[in-house]
Structure 1
Amino acid sequence: MGDSTEMPAEQSSPWTVMDVAEFMHEDTEEIICPWCGYEFQDSWEFEENGEHDCYECEKPFKFCRIIDVTYDTERIEP
């Protein structure tokens, strides 16, 4: 069988879905620190993608600006 200290596959991660939800932020209007939850009010001043140290907890994190492009069309009557 294997080493008795190995965790079964279904228990291999120490994180639950709720744990991940606490520090992962997607589709927010401002950059939010994934460590402490600090919300950056000046997100529009940041580059499109990059790394930054949190103003509050000073821990590093990555961010990515998502740009959603959509189009509308309508008929032009002849």
Structure 2
Amino acid sequence: MKSTALEIVHRLADWSDWAPFSAAHELAPLVPGVYLAREGADGELVYVGMAGERHGKGIRGRLTVYARGKALASGLG
């Protein structure tokens, strides 16, 4: 049986629970890390991103930039 990309990624690390984007940028941790995006609640994995320090805001800072619509050059924006 062939694994989906999402199944493979899930086996690589412990991940937080999924959250809709409208809530994710407020719930995300203030530390650097990796984040995943998928289409809909049970959709395909469409984006994997990495967030650095971002002035002490980590992943939350990166997702906040997306939420403000200022990341149009990125794959997720």
Per the TM superposition, whether the score is higher than 0.5 is no
Q: Which has the higher strand share?
A: 2
Q: TM-score range by the shorter chain?
A: under 0.3
**Of the two, which has the highest radius of gyration?**
1
Q: Which has the higher helix share?
A: 2
Q: Which has the higher contact order (CA 8 A, sep 6+)?
A: 2
